[in-house]
């Protein structure tokens, strides 16, 4: 069974209503009614506003904001902000025929917030919607056919969610089977909170990260192809959650990341008017994203004499004449979002080492492989490691101190690490 909407007639109705969006056949509109509704999945909990109440609240919030603007009130946030412009939004995904939109909206929000808060654009972070939905939602008795709501989804992130490779997403209820070391890979959040004020929503988006939002879907939304969506006609379908990644005050709309694949809407994204369909009655924010700290390892500093030279290793027991001086700094023993490999380069007669994020460049240096992973640019809580050189023969030492003595020349920052293992 499918709906009876004719896209040509719908476009005429959109134009007649003065709405600024285009209706057309889409990858979703051509599905059966049941399949379309399986692309939704937000069901308000007993303590939350109903979808109808959310629509009323959103209209009221927008009216209050508009009244303040009309009276000349000004705000500190910019009139336009889009997290995509900074490279903070991860690629579009497809929940397919499973009512798991809450998991997709929550994951997209945490990913974008992580990249913005840690200043790691295009880091490659890719978290597991499958673990969030098939492990945490299923514990509460929810699945593809029932949907879920936002608060428990974000609360699950306090415990932690691993990456996509640890539990790949397949539509349709799955058993909770995660990789053995998922806790070492898990991204966590410290807390989350709700925002009901439109100005605070925009302030958050422009300074802190993305937001989770949920709204009422009517059947004309399936036919959205581009523009700024406002409800024109069609039946009530259900609730849906997405990630808000920006706003535009000139066009009076939110910029949203959907989970229906890149073939729908504006390459998987859509814009929706302020106060529309309950979208901004409440939004959910992630306060602080915590990296998988179990993967942070000490990097030990070793030296050997005649002549003095230095080696750095995550191993606490390097032999063959090397003396361990202690922990030099903390880095990652395995690749993490935003990090780059630091290669160990070796030269002989005498044995000495050089460490670089660019590989081993120049004659006489042999690449021994990756020593550890660090950051090329400074992110939260990291400090620079400086490269020092001494001649005859050329030897290198690495230190978090900007000055280590007269015979060593500071060549600049080699990479960024942690001075101590974060709590």
Angle at 190 between CA 184 and CA 193, to 5 degrees: 140
Over residues 366-380, mean pLDDT: 91
Cβ atoms of 39 and 242 within 8 Å: the answer is: no
Question: Both tokens of residue 219?
Answer: 């059947």
Q: CA-CA distances (angstroms) from residue 98 to 66, 145, 174, 323?
A: 37, 7, 11, 57
Q: Is 423 a residue whose pLDDT tops 70?
A: no
Q: How far apart are CA 383 and CA 396, in angstroms?
A: 19
CA atoms 152, 155, 156, 161: torsion sign? positive
pLDDT value for 2: 60
**Average pLDDT, stretch 225-252?**
98
> Could you tell me the CA-to-CA distances from 5 to 13, 208, 415 in Å, in that order?
11, 40, 58
Catalytic entry in 98, 101, 256, 277: 101
CA-CA distance, 270 to 286, in Å (whole number)? 22
For 338-370, write each residue's pLDDT tens digit.
889 999 999 887 778 999 999 887 778 899 999
Mean pLDDT, the chain, integer = 93
Instruction: Give the active site residue among 240, 241, 256, 277.
Output: 240
- Does the active-site annotation cover 119? no
Q: Do 157 and 106 meet the contact criterion of CB atoms below 8 Å apart? A: yes
User: Would the pLDDT of 199 be above 60?
Assistant: yes
pTM of this prediction exceeds 0.75: yes
Task: Give the pLDDT confidence score for residue 350 in this predicted structure.
Answer: 72
State both tokens at 234.
Answer: 């069609």
Q: How many CA atoms lie within 13 A of 373 on its CB side?
A: 11
DSSP E strands in 176-290: the ranges are 188-189, 192-195, 211-218, 224-229, 236-248, 253-257, 269-273, 283-286, 289-290
DSSP per position, 341-383: EEEEEEETTTTEEEEETT---STT-EEEEEEEEEBSS--TT-E
CA distances from 94 to 39, 134, 175, 370 (A): 9, 16, 19, 35
- CA torsion 139→144→149→155, rounded to 10°? 40
Which H/E stretch holds residue 11?
Answer: helix 7-16
Tell me the DSSP string of 386-404.
Answer: EEEEETTTTEEEEESSS--
| Cα–Cα dist 212/284, whole Å | 5
pLDDT confidence band for 247 (50 / 70 / 90): very high
Tens of pLDDT, residue by residue over 18-55, are 999 999 999 999 999 999 999 999 999 998 999 999 99
First to last CA, the chain: 55
Q: b vs e for 7-41, b when ≥16 Cβ sit within 10 Å of the residue's Cβ?
A: beebbebbeeeebbbbbeebebbebeeeebbbbbb
Residue 329: the pLDDT is: 94
Give the number of other CB atoms < 10 A from CB of residue 45.
11
pLDDT for 234 = 95
pLDDT of residue 337: 76
Give the model confidence (pLDDT) of 290-304 as tens digits: 877 656 889 999 998
Query: Quick check: 318 pLDDT over 60?
Result: yes
Quote the distance between the C-alpha of residue 346 and its chain's center: 37
Q: Which entry of 144, 214, 258, 277 is annotated as an active-site residue?
A: 258
In the chain, pLDDT over 70 holds for what percent of residues? 97
| Confidence band for 422, pLDDT divided at 50, 70 and 90 | low
Reported residue count of the chain is 423
């Amino acid at each position: 069974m499918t709906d009876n909407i004719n896209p040509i007639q719908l476009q005429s109705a959109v134009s007649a209503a003065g709405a600024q969006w285009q209706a057309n056949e889409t990858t979703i509109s051509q599905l059966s009614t049941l399949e379309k509704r399986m692309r939704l999945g937000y069901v308000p909990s007993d303590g939350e506003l109903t979808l109808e109440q959310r629509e009323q609240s959103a209209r009221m919030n927008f009216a209050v904001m508009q009244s303040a603007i009309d009276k000349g009130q000004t705000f500190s946030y910019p009139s336009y902000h889009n997290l995509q412009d900074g490279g903070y939004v991860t690629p579009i995904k497809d929940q397919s025929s499973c009512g798991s939109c809450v998991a997709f909206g929550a994951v997209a929000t945490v990913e974008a917030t992580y990249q913005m808060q840690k200043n790691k654009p295009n880091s490659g972070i890719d978290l597991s919607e499958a673990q969030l939905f098939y492990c945490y939602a299923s514990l509460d008795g929810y699945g593809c056919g029932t949907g879920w709501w936002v608060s428990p989804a974000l609360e699950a992130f306090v415990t932690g969610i691993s990456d996509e490779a640890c539990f790949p997403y397949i539509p349709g209820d799955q058993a909770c089977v995660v990789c053995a070391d998922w806790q070492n890979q898990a991204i966590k959040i410290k807390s989350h909170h709700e925002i009901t004020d439109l100005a605070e929503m925009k302030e958050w988006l422009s300074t802190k990260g993305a937001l989770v939002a949920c709204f009422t879907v009517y059947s004309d939304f399936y036919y959205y192809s581009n523009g700024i969506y406002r409800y024109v006609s069609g039946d009530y379908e259900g609730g849906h959650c997405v990630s808000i990644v920006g706003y535009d005050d000139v066009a009076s709309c939110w910029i949203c990341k959907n989970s229906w694949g890149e073939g729908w809407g504006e390459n998987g994204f859509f814009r929706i008017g302020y106060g529309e369909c309950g979208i901004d009655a409440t939004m959910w924010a992630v306060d602080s994203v915590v990296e998988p700290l179990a993967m942070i390892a000490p990097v030990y500093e070793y030296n050997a004499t005649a002549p003095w030279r230095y080696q750095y290793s995550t191993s606490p027991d390097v032999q063959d004449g090397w003396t361990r001086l202690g922990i030099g700094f903390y880095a990652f023993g395995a690749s993490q979002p935003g990090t780059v490999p630091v290669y160990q380069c070796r030269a002989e007669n005498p044995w000495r080492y050089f460490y670089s994020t660019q590989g081993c460049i120049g004659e006489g240096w042999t690449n021994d492989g990756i020593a550890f992973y660090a950051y090329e640019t400074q992110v939260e809580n990291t400090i620079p490691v400086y490269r020092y050189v001494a001649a005859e023969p050329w030897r290198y030492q690495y230190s978090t101190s900007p000055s280590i003595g007269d015979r060593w020349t500071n060549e600049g920052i080699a990479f960024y690490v942690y001075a101590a293992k974060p709590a």
